[in-house]
C-alpha cells in the first residue's frame, strides 16, 4: 500500500459491499478524495445511474433490512488500492510517438 492515501491519484480501488462482500472495482486519475466525493453524493441522493446506489437498493428492498433507508458510502469498505504506473493516456502518448 505504501504511500497511497486519499490525496493519491492514478490509483485503482475497490468498494466492497458491507452487506454481501460484492466488490465494485474502479480506478481514478484524480485524487481518491475527489473520486470518493463523486461516489458519495449520488448514493446519498439515491441517484439511479449510480451503480453503487443501485446495488445498495437491492439490499434496501430486501426484507432482512426493513429499516434501511439511508444509503451511504459508509456501506462500502474501501480496499485493494494500488498505484497505476501507466495510465491509458500514457499509453496513448507512447503510441502517438511511435507513429
Ligand atoms: Zn451488497
pLDDT in tens, 33-54: 899 999 999 999 999 999 999 9
Bridge partners, residue 83, by sequence: 11
Ligand 1 mean position, distance from CA 94 (Å):
39
Ligand 1 mean position, distance from CA 1 (Å):
25
Angle between helices 32-44 and 51-60 (to 10 degrees): 40
84: nearest Cα among 1, 11, 4: 11
C-alpha cell at 20: 454481501
Phi, psi dihedral angles at 85 (to 5 degrees): -85, -35
Ligand 1 mean position, distance from CA 56 (Å):
6
Total-model pTM: 0.73
Ligand 1 mean position, distance from CA 93 (Å):
38
- What does the pLDDT average to over 86-97? 60
Bridge partners, residue 82, by sequence: 12
Write the CB contacts of 68 (distance below 8 Å, at least 6 apart in sequence). Answer: 59, 60
Domains of the chain: 11-98 (3.40.1440)
The pLDDT value given to residue 5 = 82
Amino acid at each position: 500500500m505504501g504511500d497511497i492515501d486519499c490525496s493519491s491519484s492514478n490509483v485503482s480501488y475497490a468498494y466492497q459491499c458491507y452487506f454481501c462482500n460484492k466488490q465494485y472495482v474502479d480506478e481514478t486519475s484524480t485524487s481518491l478524495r475527489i473520486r470518493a466525493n463523486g461516489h458519495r453524493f449520488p448514493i446519498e441522493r439515491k441517484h439511479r445511474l449510480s451503480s453503487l446506489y443501485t446495488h445498495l437498493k437491492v439490499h434496501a428492498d430486501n426484507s432482512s433490512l426493513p429499516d434501511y433507508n439511508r444509503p451511504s458510502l459508509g456501506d462500502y469498505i474501501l480496499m485493494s488500492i494500488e498505484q497505476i504506473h501507466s495510465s491509458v493516456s500514457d499509453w496513448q502518448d507512447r503510441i502517438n510517438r511511435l507513429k
